[in-house]
């Protein structure tokens, strides 16, 4: 790419290429093998439970276990290249073993939220039609009703302490099953992950050549992941991500961070779930490529679950969303003893409030680097470069990526004007799985229409205004909820806030704020009075409703759509 029309390229750190001409690997199976050979016995993953008990795997151990799981898939379960494998696991040692095994088997990973209800499971399984389902034992009670509607030939059960040292695994298993009674009976035919690995090991007679043969004909254009996303409306649909999409996005991000992270020396805290595309690419793939030590947190709720990991392991990087950073800033144990080894943090998934970013930087002494992406783009499209961070900005397009802001007719708007963000690059998905009409709505002439409203400045930095569908129209004036939420975040008595539009006879729509207060003395008049000092009159919330908590997604993103439902939370 030439720099003409791409002002952001002038802001790349020294040595960062504007264009990545070719993917560094043919497929993700080759990637897994190469990284294991390169980093060997270095620790790749450590899973830390809330009580501080942990288990770890080196790159070499992870690779060998992944080989065994690949053999299980192909030789025991009888899968073929391109068959789907659903994985319904929280962060654990099982997740990387199974994911890399799926890549090596030439199969397709279907990421499934383990918190799904049985009906949501059934929808996802019916849509993706996997031949194997790997699921956490804590939610095995969902199997019978889900599989009654959408059968899966092979089910593999894994405990949260799988691949821990034997004594620790046994203790955790006994406590969960018999003391806390958290593990329900499995009502369908199933095997354990240990059994699947053992069966694969027993059939692994052909050495590296046997494993390599499974993906011999797999290239960058082949499907490797179905990533389910709620999208703009309706039932969740799956973005089809190819080997090339994920490998190139990994290479693009690695190019951007090359000046700030050192190979084999970084430790990343992964509190966001790996089945979500942000952590999947940024934490799992990118740090595996870097030879980083990945510290896995099975569940970040409550936030005290992160405490032992911070205390036991010198974390150098972490990723999160606004609610995670804001939540930690309200935890006394974190404020009184913040991690001093942290070099920086990366935010995505939702808008980062400036008040949260400022408080985080003041406490930690290191910045929160904001980026932007979505499932349909593998996910990263933009990133704030090291040494060139702009506050309230999602940064600049990463190498080999084009970005524009366009009007309703698809025409590019002038810098400084709001428009829908559209993007083009090798990380953009193949399309939606079995949804050609939905694909046609978002992929036009090679451009991905994101549905997000942004403003690009003359340097190529972009600021997210809001989701197109979340925009509120008050007497003909546009109000973006993010702006109002950012204002509310600056009020000391507000812990969290969310803003939506509600019908109004006089103005068409009115601004309504949902507030979680730190102090019971906070009133709606206090909230409105504060907003009047910082916002134009039509942006000030007309209605304020206090809540004990706000509805959130699996990664902690506040769900405005649930707040719009009339009966929500009554």
Domain range annotation of the chain: 55-218, 472-564
Q: What is the pLDDT of residue 566?
A: 63
Which backbone phi and psi does 110 adopt, to 5 degrees?
-115, 105
Which one, of 328, 292, 323, lies nearest residue 310 by Cα? 328
Q: What is the pLDDT of residue 232?
A: 37
Rounded Cα–Cα distance for residues 137 and 139 (Å): 5
Strand order in the sheet with 223-229: 191-192, 154-158, 132-136, 84-88, 108-111, 223-229, 237-242, 431-432
Q: How confident is the model at residue 4 (pLDDT cuts 50, 70, 90)?
A: low
Contact yes or no for 461/7 (Cβ under 8 A): no
Q: Is the pLDDT of residue 569 over 70?
A: no
Q: Is the pLDDT of residue 259 over 90?
A: no
Quickly name the fold that domain 55-218 has: Rossmann fold (3.40.50)
Q: What is the pLDDT of residue 317?
A: 97
Q: Is the pLDDT of residue 50 over 60?
A: yes
Q: What is the pLDDT of residue 89?
A: 97
Q: What is the mean pLDDT of the chain?
A: 93
Q: pLDDT by residue (tens digit) across 65-98? A: 999 999 999 999 999 999 999 999 999 999 999 9
Q: Is the pLDDT of residue 3 over 50?
A: no
Rounded Cα–Cα distance for residues 293 and 16 (Å): 24
Per-residue pLDDT averaged across 116-120, rounded? 88
Q: What is the pLDDT of residue 233?
A: 39
Rounded Cα–Cα distance for residues 389 and 380 (Å): 17
Q: Is the pLDDT of residue 235 over 70?
A: no
Which helix (H) or strand (E) is 267 found in, with range? strand 267-270
Q: What is the pLDDT of residue 477?
A: 74
Between 350 and 104, the more confident residue is 104
Quickly name the fold that domain 472-564 has: GMP Synthetase; Chain A, domain 3 (3.30.300)
Rounded Cα–Cα distance for residues 536 and 472 (Å): 14
Q: What is the pLDDT of residue 506?
A: 77
Alpha helices by DSSP H, listed for 258-353, are: 277-279, 286-290, 307-312, 322-329, 332-336
Read out DSSP for 453-494?
Answer: EEEE-TTS-EEEEEEGGG-EEETTEEE-HHHHHHHHHTSTTE
Between 506 and 474, the more confident residue is 474
Q: Is the pLDDT of residue 242 over 80?
A: yes
Per-residue pLDDT averaged across 14-27, rounded? 95
Cα-based torsion angle of the residue sequence 365, 368, 369, 375 in order, rounded to the nearest 10 degrees: 160
Per-residue pLDDT averaged across 207-216, rounded? 92
Whether 55-218 and 472-564 share one fold: the answer is no
Contact yes or no for 182/139 (Cβ under 8 A): no
Q: What is the pLDDT of residue 463?
A: 92
Q: Is the pLDDT of residue 168 over 90?
A: yes
Give the pair of three-digit tokens for residue 506. Answer: 């006089």
Q: Is the pLDDT of residue 312 over 90?
A: yes
Q: pLDDT by residue (tens digit) across 332-364? A: 999 999 999 999 999 987 778 888 999 999 999
Q: Is the pLDDT of residue 567 over 70?
A: no
Global pTM reads 0.87
Give the pair of three-digit tokens for residue 469. Answer: 């569908």
Q: What is the DSSP letter of 414?
A: P
Per-residue pLDDT averaged across 25-53, rounded? 98
Instruction: Tell me the torsion sign for CA atoms 412, 414, 418, 422.
Output: positive
Q: What is the pLDDT of residue 231?
A: 45
By mean pLDDT, which of 80-94, 118-132, 498-512, 520-534 is the weakest?
498-512
Q: What is the pLDDT of residue 234?
A: 47
Pairing of strands 43-48, 293-296: parallel
Q: What is the pLDDT of residue 300?
A: 92
Q: Is the pLDDT of residue 28 over 60?
A: yes
Rounded Cα–Cα distance for residues 118 and 83 (Å): 23
Which one, of 274, 218, 243, lies nearest residue 98 by Cα? 274
Rg over CA atoms, the chain:
23
Length of the chain counted residue by residue: 570
Q: pLDDT by residue (tens digit) across 366-417? A: 989 999 999 999 999 999 998 888 988 999 999 999 999 999 999 999 999 9
Q: pLDDT by residue (tens digit) across 428-467? A: 999 999 999 999 999 999 999 999 999 999 999 999 887 7
Rounded Cα–Cα distance for residues 389 and 402 (Å): 19
């Amino acid at each position: 790419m030439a720099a003409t029309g791409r002002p952001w390229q002038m802001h790349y750190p020294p040595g960062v290429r504007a264009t990545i001409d070719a993917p560094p690997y043919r497929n993700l199976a080759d990637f897994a093998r190469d990284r294991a050979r390169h980093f060997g016995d270095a620790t790749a993953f450590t899973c830390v439970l809330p009580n501080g008990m942990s288990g770890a795997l080196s790159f070499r151990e992870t690779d060998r276990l992944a080989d065994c799981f690949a053999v299980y898939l192909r030789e025991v379960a009888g899968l073929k290249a391109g068959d789907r494998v659903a994985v319904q696991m929280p962060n654990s040692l099982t997740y990387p073993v199974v994911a890399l095994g799926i890549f090596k088997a030439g199969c397709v990973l279907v990421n499934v939220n383990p918190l799904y209800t049985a009906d949501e499971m059934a929808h996802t399984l019916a849509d993706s039609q996997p031949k194997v389902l790997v699921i956490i034992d804590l939610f095995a009670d969902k199997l019978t009703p889900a599989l009654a509607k959408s059968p899966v030939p092979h089910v593999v059960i894994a405990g949260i302490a799988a691949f821990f040292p034997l004594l620790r695994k046994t203790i955790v298993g006994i406590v969960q099953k018999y003391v806390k009674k958290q593990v329900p009976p499995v009502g369908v035919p199933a095997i354990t992950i240990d059994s699947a690995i053992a069966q694969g090991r027993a059939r692994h007679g052909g050495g590296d050549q046997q494993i390599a043969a499974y993906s011999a004909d797999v290239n960058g254009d082949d499907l490797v992941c179905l990533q389910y996303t709620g999208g703009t409306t309706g039932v969740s649909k799956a973005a089809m991500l190819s080997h090339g999409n994920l490998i190139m996005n990994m290479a693009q991000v690695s190019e951007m961070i090359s000046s700030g992270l050192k190979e084999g020396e970084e430790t990343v805290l992964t509190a966001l779930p790996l089945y979500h595309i942000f952590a999947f690419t940024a934490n799992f793939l990118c740090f595996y490529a870097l030879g980083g030590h990945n510290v896995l947190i099975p569940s970040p709720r409550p936030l005290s679950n992160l405490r032992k990991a911070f205390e036991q392991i010198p974390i150098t990087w972490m990723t999160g969303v606004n609610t995670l950073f804001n939540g930690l800033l309200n935890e006394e144990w974190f404020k009184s003893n913040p991690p001093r080894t942290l070099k920086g943090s990366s935010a995505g998934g939702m808008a980062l409030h400036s008040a949260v970013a400022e408080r985080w930087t003041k406490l930690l002494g290191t910045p929160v680097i904001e980026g932007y992406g979505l499932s349909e783009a593998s996910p990263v499209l933009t990133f704030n470069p090291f040494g060139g961070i702009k506050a309230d900005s999602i940064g600049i397009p990463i190498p080999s990526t084009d970005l524009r802001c366009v009007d309703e007719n698809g025409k590019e708007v002038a810098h400084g004007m709001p428009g829908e963000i559209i993007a083009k690059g090798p990380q953009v998905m193949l399309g939606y799985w079995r949804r050609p009409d939905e694909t046609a709505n978002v992929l036009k002439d090679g451009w991905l229409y994101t549905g997000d409203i942004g403003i690009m400045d003359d340097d190529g930095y972009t600021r997210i205004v809001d989701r197109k569908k979340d925009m509120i129209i008050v007497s003909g004036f546009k109000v973006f909820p993010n702006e109002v939420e950012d204002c509310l975040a600056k009020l000391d008595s507000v812990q969290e806030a969310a803003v939506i539009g509600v019908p109004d006879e006089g103005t068409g729509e009115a601004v309504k704020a949902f507030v979680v207060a730190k102090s019971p003395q906070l009133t709606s008049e206090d909230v409105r009075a504060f907003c009047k000092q910082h916002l134009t009159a039509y942006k000030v919330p007309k209605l304020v409703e206090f809540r004990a908590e706000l509805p959130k997604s699996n990664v902690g993103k506040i769900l405005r759509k649930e707040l719009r439902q009339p009966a929500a939370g009554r």
